[in-house]
Amino acid sequence: MRTFLNLPVTRIFIFGLLLGITLLLIYGPRQPELQDRKVVIGDAELAHMIAGWQRTWKRMPTRDELQGIMGSYIQDEVVYREALNQEMDRNNATVKRALISQMDMLAEGQGSERDITEEDIKAYYDLRKEQFIAPALLKFHQVYLKDEKDSTRLTELSSAWNRENLSPQEGMEMASPSLLPPRMNLQTTDAIDREFGNGFAASLMELPVGQWSGPVRSGFGLHLIYLDSLVPAEPLPLDKVKNEIANMLQYEEKQAAKEQFYTELLQQYEVIYQGMAKDLIDE
């Protein structure tokens, strides 16, 4: 008997047993509550499972498939509850983030119940009309002169072309070969800058319409420009931005509801700052 008690395996077993008894006495048994041992699948749960299956597979599940779904649901419930009983949700960043997202969705839902009315949309549009602007559009021809570096000579050349009533097509025949587009038809300033470099479109906005002007410098060199037409930026009509405004209003109402929810929730808690956090607050 003494020899058996002196065996290493026996000592490890006894130590483990004593440790388990000690932990049990200190923390008590980790048994779930009685109601936690019941997994109930009612009509609501079953309808939710079927709806989820239909969203994924675009059809009703078969009897066997439905039994499999219910089996998976029971397994998930049992594993989830056991994880809670083991307190695996505590100090878990992933669980915390998921729960915060769920609460955010709950709070935002309070702001999405009200329908956006036509009066809401018009009031928003009238107050922020400057946000809904159709960009300026330019139509022009350009003559790129790769080897010409004398801006004074090019200014004189554009004046001569105007005196001669040189057409845009005739002017383009004198351009240096390049991959640049010889003309652009009612393009936005952003689209023009993508072709010729930042700031090029802004220079065109200052030119007179219906004549040769220049030189205008781009990232490639000097150009003579024939500005055919300029459509200035102007507010978009309400009917063109109605859907966009409705979406913006819904988003703002959700954000306001979430902020209100958080403010009311915060009033139920006492926030205590300690250490460096307290020093930051007190500054």
Render pLDDT for 169-197 as a digit per residue (tens, 0 to 9): 888 888 888 888 999 999 999 999 999 99
The b-or-e profile of 185-202 (16+ CB within 10 A means b, else e) is eebbbeebbebbeeebbe
What's the chain's Rg over C-alpha atoms? Answer: 37
pTM of the predicted structure, to 2 decimals: 0.50
pLDDT digits (tens, 9 = 90+) for 154-169: 898 899 999 999 999 8
Q: Is the Cβ–Cβ distance between 236 and 133 less than 8 Å?
A: yes
Q: What is the secondary structure of 197-254 as a DSSP string?
A: -TTHHHHHTTSPTTSEEEEEE-SS-EEEEEEEEEE--EEPPHHHHHHHHHHHHHHHHH
Residue whose pair of structure tokens reads 């000592």 in the numeric block: 11
The topology (CATH level 3) of 134-235 is Chitinase A; domain 3 (3.10.50)
Residue ranges per domain, the chain? 2-98, 99-132+240-283, 134-235
CA distance 225 to 203: 10
Secondary structure class of 172 (helix, strand, coil):
helix
pLDDT digits (tens, 9 = 90+) for 191-241: 999 999 999 999 999 999 999 998 999 988 889 999 999 999 999 999 999
Residue whose pair of structure tokens reads 């006894």 in the numeric block: 14
